[in-house]
Amino acid sequence: MIRFARPGDRPQLMTLWQEAFGDSEADTAYYFMHRHRDENLLVYEQAGTVAGMLTMLPAVLKAGADHLPIRYVYAVATAMASRRQGISTRLLEHAHAWMKDAGMAASVLAPATPELFDFYARRGYQTTFYVNQVAVALTEDAGMPPGARVTDATVDTYARVRNQAMADSALYVQWDKEALAFVVNGEKNAGSQVLHAETPQGQAVAICQHMGEGHVRVVEMMTLGIDARQALDILHPYIKASAYTLRLPEGAWPGGARAPLGMMLPFADMPVIAGAPNYLGLIKD
């Protein structure tokens, strides 16, 4: 039986989450406390036990002047003892039917592994969102550029810069402040830096995860008035890492490797918009 989650499901859902995704008990509890809503999570119940789950996070797809309601399919999991029974497929089909009835314009997701792109393609999804992946080694510290400063980014600042930076995208998956607060505060609690860089020419926000041994992973960087390399030059004297791995909007770094990130299944005709490359970010990986 497929149904929406109930409060009494919480212990089983958290156990399944840890089994499927390998998250710690603390990280799992943080998600269920700050982001989970029973009305967004489908449960596959088998003999009174939660055998599978699928979350449909609400988001907005900005397409030119249109702001279309969509759902982001997230945390699809089947209990190890119940795998290879088609549970994920049935959950996905149920989710699609619900989204259509609810008037959603599309379903969006980010496959967790390369082979899952084929899995979702067979179910109607098309690869729609790409990123640039860049590795940069910086051994010299030239100091902060004149007039530049770096501070901790608030949720409001992060949302403002992010939305302005993506305003020209043909398709942009836009998260509300509750969703961004979950990401920003969660990253800070985990020891990451969420930074706001400012210079007389422009500004940027970035989420910087410290991976150890002088390596920083920038999982998102948004820029206004400056480019990604200029933003990194401002951030580097503050972070002082020796190696950076950056995941950036497509086209943000000349010569950056283009990699698929997300897929979309439209339930209605999408408007044809001329603009900057599509963007989906802040996925779980």
Q: Residue 275 pLDDT > 90, yes or no?
A: no
* Whether residue 204 is found in the same domain as residue 237: yes
Q: Model confidence over 242-254: pLDDT tens digits?
A: 999 999 999 999 9
**Percent of the chain's residues with pLDDT above 90:** 87
**Does 126 fall in a domain?**
no
- Cα(131)–Cα(221) distance, integer angstroms: 11
* Whether residue 218 is found in the same domain as residue 188: yes
**Does 114 fall in a domain?**
no
**Does 51 fall in a domain?**
yes
* Whether residue 160 is found in the same domain as residue 71: no
Residue with tokens 């030059």: 233
Q: Across the strands, what pairs with 195? A: 152, 206
**Does 69 fall in a domain?**
yes
pLDDT at 273 (0 to 100): 78
> The domain that contains 14 carries what CATH number?
3.40.630.30
Q: Residue 145 pLDDT > 60, yes or no?
A: yes
Mean predicted lDDT score pLDDT of the chain: 94
Over residues 112-125, the mean pLDDT reads: 94
pLDDT band at 55 (very low <50, low <70, confident <90, very high): very high
- Cα(110)–Cα(283) distance, integer angstroms: 7
Q: How many domains does the chain have?
A: 2
Nearest of 206, 254, 260 to residue 232 by alpha carbon: 206
* Whether residue 91 is found in the same domain as residue 139: no
**Does 277 fall in a domain?**
no
Domain that holds residue 97: 2-109
* Whether residue 252 is found in the same domain as residue 142: yes
* Whether residue 61 is found in the same domain as residue 142: no
Q: Across the strands, what pairs with 72? A: 57, 108
Q: Name every residue whose Cβ is closer than 8 Å to that of residue 47 and which is 6 or more positions away in sequence.
A: none
Q: Residue 282 pLDDT > 80, yes or no?
A: no
